[in-house]
Structure 1
């Protein structure tokens, strides 16, 4: 079964099992759903996100990329338009708004993004202006595009690194991250490696966000292993994104939430 057919099958299953607002007795989850995920306010930053995304998806320059991940469903060669990367490999405008709200809600002091791509999610994290942002991109040509595009937003405390994820994570540092966004190598082995590499740094307040948890059987298997890990107390499956929390004061629970 192809990745695309697998995702469609899993989405139909998700629709049967998920709800918009389940009966939750955990104030933390209830407030996260009602004050953040379902927030309908028109935040001023949204217009900047839309402008940034337009600057990407209307840029038809060609670049030759190096794919260090699990490959692409869309692209068949390494010569790609920046506009196509934005439309097919970057965050949608809806997801950019969601990531902005999540960042503004939790106010992380340090965000780590694994997979800058052309900077669409990076812009969402940055415009929340809650603290430092470190974004890592393996492909030099794509990293250069993101660096050039993001200059227009003048995001404070943003560090862009052109480095493969494994070498970045395996290099021991004193850095701790309050929010981590995994959007790079969509394979089971790599995702679990990144998760395990970051476990020593997590606290009760750390938020992990996994992109495309139903991209393939391997990604779904990784998600199932992660959410059952003894240190994970809460998980929220929104199909395209999976949220993981380590709040020791909560009993272990898993939710499937339709956005």
Structure 2
């Protein structure tokens, strides 16, 4: 936690808003998506889904294949506690919705379903999209699948198992948006990035969750930024966004949201 506090202070000193951006692509993304203040009707469904989870007192046995929640260490956890402490926040779920909507992402992959809060938001952003999400814990995946179906999120396929086993066997060989939110370890993150890199096209976006989770995750983020196929990155502290636009000069942005 101390590491994150120090990194956040550094982030605040070097971050900017739309006024410090000279790239038209990034400027439009920030002003029309990041800072979009409109209240979309889908926000009500996103809020409703999370609130429904916060009311569930059921205990489930959780299998953590990667780095789990900092706040919940027990294997047996209550659903509402997972939603509260480890689930995507409402603010970030709304941003995922806007990103999916802004880019009109037709093919979306998520590594780390958890209870499906982020999954639901991504699918709501572009209902015509095909959303594939992979969850390592069978009980959590089952719960998420049932919850998403109950909320009519019918464009989602939930896969249960180890990421390494399944990302190499995915039906799609091209993704518009990939959300990495399942294993907050340096080597695992770099491995998933390398394996999924061939699925990226010129307009794809890779989103890495918790890039300041640990020193190792920050090191992974810095390595990803320097990859020759990566042209534009945006550091929002909580997320790192990666783009592969060949027409862009290589540039890294640090943006407050």
My pick for the range that moved more, 167-176 or 9-18, is 167-176
Please give the alpha-carbon distance, in whole angstroms, between the structure 2 residues aligned to 1:84 and 1:248: 43
Please state whether the residue corresponding to 2:203 is helix, strand or coil: coil
Corresponding position: 1:49 with 2:46: yes
Match of 1:171 among 166, 169, 174: 169
Give the deviation of 1:89 after TM superposition: 1.1
Identify the residue that residue 35 of structure 1 maps to in structure 2. 32
Corresponding position: 1:148 with 2:150: no
TM-superposition CA deviations, 1:85-120 (whole Å, max 9, x none): 111111000001000000000011100000000000
Following superposition, which runs of at least 4 residues in structure 1 exceed 6 angstroms of deviation?
Answer: none
Match of 1:74 among 61, 67, 71: 71
Corresponding position: 1:123 with 2:120: yes
Please give the alpha-carbon distance, in whole angstroms, between the structure 1 residues aligned to 2:153 and 2:92: 19
Identify the residue that residue 85 of structure 2 maps to in structure 1. 88
Match of 2:232 among 231, 234, 253: 234
CA contact (8 A) 1:104 1:130 kept: no
Please give the alpha-carbon distance, in whole angstroms, between the structure 2 residues aligned to 1:130 and 1:220: 34
My pick for the range that moved more, 71-80 or 116-125, is 71-80
Identify the residue that residue 24 of structure 1 maps to in structure 2. 21
Q: Please report the TM-score for the alignment, with normalisation by the length of structure 2.
A: 0.97
Please give the alpha-carbon distance, in whole angstroms, between the structure 2 residues aligned to 1:47 and 1:173: 32
CA RMSD of aligned residues (A): 1.1
Q: How does 1:160-199 map to 2 (within 5 A)?
A: 160-171=158-169, 173-199=171-197
Identify the residue that residue 215 of structure 2 maps to in structure 1. 217
Please give the alpha-carbon distance, in whole angstroms, between the structure 2 residues aligned to 1:174 and 1:91: 26
My pick for the range that moved more, 148-157 or 114-123, is 148-157
* 5+ residue gaps, structure 2: none
Q: Please report the TM-score for the alignment, with normalisation by the length of structure 1.
A: 0.96
Please give the alpha-carbon distance, in whole angstroms, between the structure 2 residues aligned to 1:153 and 1:229: 39
My pick for the range that moved more, 207-216 or 151-160, is 151-160
* 5+ residue gaps, structure 1: none
CA contact (8 A) 1:233 1:250 kept: yes
My pick for the range that moved more, 73-82 or 181-190, is 73-82
Please state whether the residue corresponding to 1:204 is helix, strand or coil: strand
Count of paired positions: 256
